Each structure stands twice: as C-alpha cells, then as structure tokens.
Amino acid sequence: MKARIKWVEDRTFVGETGSGHKIVFGTASGPDGIRPKPGPSPMELMLIGAGGCSAIDVVHILEKGREAVEGCVVELDSDRAETDPKVFTRIHMHFIVRGRGLADAKVKRAIDLSIEKYCSATAMLSKTATVTHDYEVVDSSNGG
C-alpha cells in the first residue's frame, strides 16, 4: 500500500492513495486561527477508518450468510490521551444494522468477527485503546 501527502497551505494537506483517491485534511484553522478547518484531522480519519473497516466487514459477512441486510451505520465515540502522543485510549462503536428479518445472533456474530478477527484498523487501535461495541438491529419488514 502506498500514499502521498502534499502540503497545500496553512494547515491544509491533500492525501492521495495508491489507488488514486484524494482527500483534503487539516489539523487547525490556519496560523491566524480564524478560518475553518479544511477537512477532517488525521485522528478523525483514523476513527472513520476503524468504523469503515468494521462496517465493510459486517455487511460482507451478513451478505455472505445470505442475510437481507439493507443498511449499516457505525457511530463512534472516543477519548484520547491528554499528553503527546495523544493516542486513542477508548473507542466505543455502536452498530445500527437494518434489514428484513435479520437474525440477532448472526448480526452479533458478524460484528464480533469484525472487531476480534478481521478489522486491521481496529486491531491496530486496540494496542492503545480499549475498544468496546454494542449494536441494535432494525427490522425493515416492520416498517423500520
């Protein structure tokens, strides 16, 4: 895997992945402190990466098991250390999985497999953070 980061101005950077995707990110509002952030911070991107990694796993596992999954949302909440390096110390992932007649046990299994076995982003972050999760299943066949 490869990536390239280019400084644009102030605290604005553009990252380009080896696959050609670009994202604008930044850490602060610039030297004058007035302008808004140009995009997410690197740490916000790490948190999004962990949630995205697990969401992809969960959908894939459920689809492979022929479950009628229609949606997956992961809401993340975290704490970081107060001193440098300000690593994540706690990450909680709340999954909201929606579909027709989804089996609760299969949703739980898919999430557990993602967190405990497949998601490399969560595996790395769990070296410094306590990672917890919970979930809810929304049955769309009942109008949900």
Structure-token match 């999760």, residue found: 133
Supply φ then ψ for residue 143, to 5 degrees.
85, 10
pLDDT-based confidence at 9, cuts 50/70/90? confident
Long-range CB pairs of 10-15, under 8 A, 24+ apart, other chains included: 10/35, 10/38, 11/37, 11/38, 12/38, 12/39
Question: Residue 45 is encoded by which pair of tokens?
Answer: 């991107």
- Tens of pLDDT, residues 103-139: 999 999 999 999 999 999 999 999 999 999 999 999 9
Q: Letter for the amino acid at 27?
A: T
Question: Residue 93 is encoded by which pair of tokens?
Answer: 């992932």
Statement: residue 36 has pLDDT above 90: no
pLDDT-based confidence at 62, cuts 50/70/90? very high
- 10 close to 30: Cβ distance less than 8 angstroms: yes
Taking only Cα atoms into account, the Rg of the chain, rounded to an integer number of angstroms, comes to 18
Mean pLDDT for the chain? 93
Statement: residue 31 has pLDDT above 70: no
* Beta strand pairing call for 88-100 and 68-80: antiparallel
pLDDT of residue 38: 86
- Tens of pLDDT, residues 75-99: 999 999 999 999 999 999 999 999 9
Mean pLDDT for the stretch of residues 32-55: 88
pLDDT of residue 11: 85
- 137 close to 95: Cβ distance less than 8 angstroms: no
Q: Of 55, 62, 54, which Cα lies nearest the Cα of 104?
A: 62
